[in-house]
Amino acid sequence: MKIVQYPHPALRFRTKPLTSIDGTVQHQAAEMLELMYEAKGLGLAAPQVALTYQMIVINPTGDPEQRDQERVLVNPVIVERKGTIEGDEGCLSFPGLYQKVRRARAVKVQAYNLKGEPVEIVSATDLESRLLQHEIDHLDGVLFIDKFGPIARLSSRGSLSTFEREYKRAQQRGEIPSDEEIQRQLAAQAVVL
Ligand code: ZN
């Protein structure tokens, strides 16, 4: 498992809800948390590791020593949004890119934990609220670049085309399969769920 970078097609895949939580899912959640801490991130969504189901992991502290702050959420849904706030945002699939993004100030999220029990989260802080919205967007194939205002859009144009160019080069070197092959793999994986 590794974190895929823009413009990998998995990032645009609309994931499916999980219908059961087994050992594989629990193992994948643990692996995602490790990758997240390794990359110094605060959150990671299944499509970012080319998985086609609905799971996110977050830890607003980003600190692997503070395990009590981490959450694994299966099939998360935002059921309530309040207010708006603009703040800086980054994404592990766009290393080095940070821009201002407007989000709801507070959200209420319903999901399941890894035991399959329903959980409800009322975001405690602006950061947690932003994280939840960012990661849940990933499950619909929505990326933070889609939420950029005109200024952020303009000033990130250069880095986005660099990402696109480097991705193409990696494909040409055979380090990444073709987009058609990746689409086939994603579709096959989603059918099994
Ligand atoms: Zn992200």
Q: 33: which 2 tokens?
A: 């948390």
* Residue-by-residue DSSP string for 19-32: S---HHHHHHHHHH
Distance of alpha carbon 77 from alpha carbon 112, whole angstroms: 10
CA of 53 to the centre of ligand 1 (A): 15
All structural domains of the chain, each given as residue ranges with its CATH number in brackets, are: 9-192 (3.90.45.10)
What pTM does this model have? 0.96
Please pick, among 38, 135, 164, 181, the residue that the annotation labels catalytic: 135
Q: Which pair of structure tokens corresponds to residue 15?
A: 């994931």
Alpha carbon of 118 to ligand 1 centroid (Å): 24
What is the distance in A from the centroid of ligand 1 to the CA of 95? 10
pLDDT tens by residue, the chain, 193 residues: 999 999 999 999 999 999 999 999 999 999 999 999 999 999 999 999 999 999 999 999 999 999 999 999 999 999 999 999 999 999 999 999 999 999 999 999 999 999 999 999 998 889 999 999 999 999 999 999 999 999 999 999 999 999 999 999 999 999 999 999 999 999 999 887 6
Catalytic site residue 135? yes
The letter for the amino acid at 63 is D
Distance between CA 82 and CA 48 in Å, rounded?
27
Which residues have C-beta within 8 Å of that of residue 96, sequence separation ≥ 6? 159
What span, in angstroms and rounded, lies between the C-alpha atoms of 190 and 38?
27
Q: How far is the CA of 89 from the centre of ligand 1 (A)?
A: 9
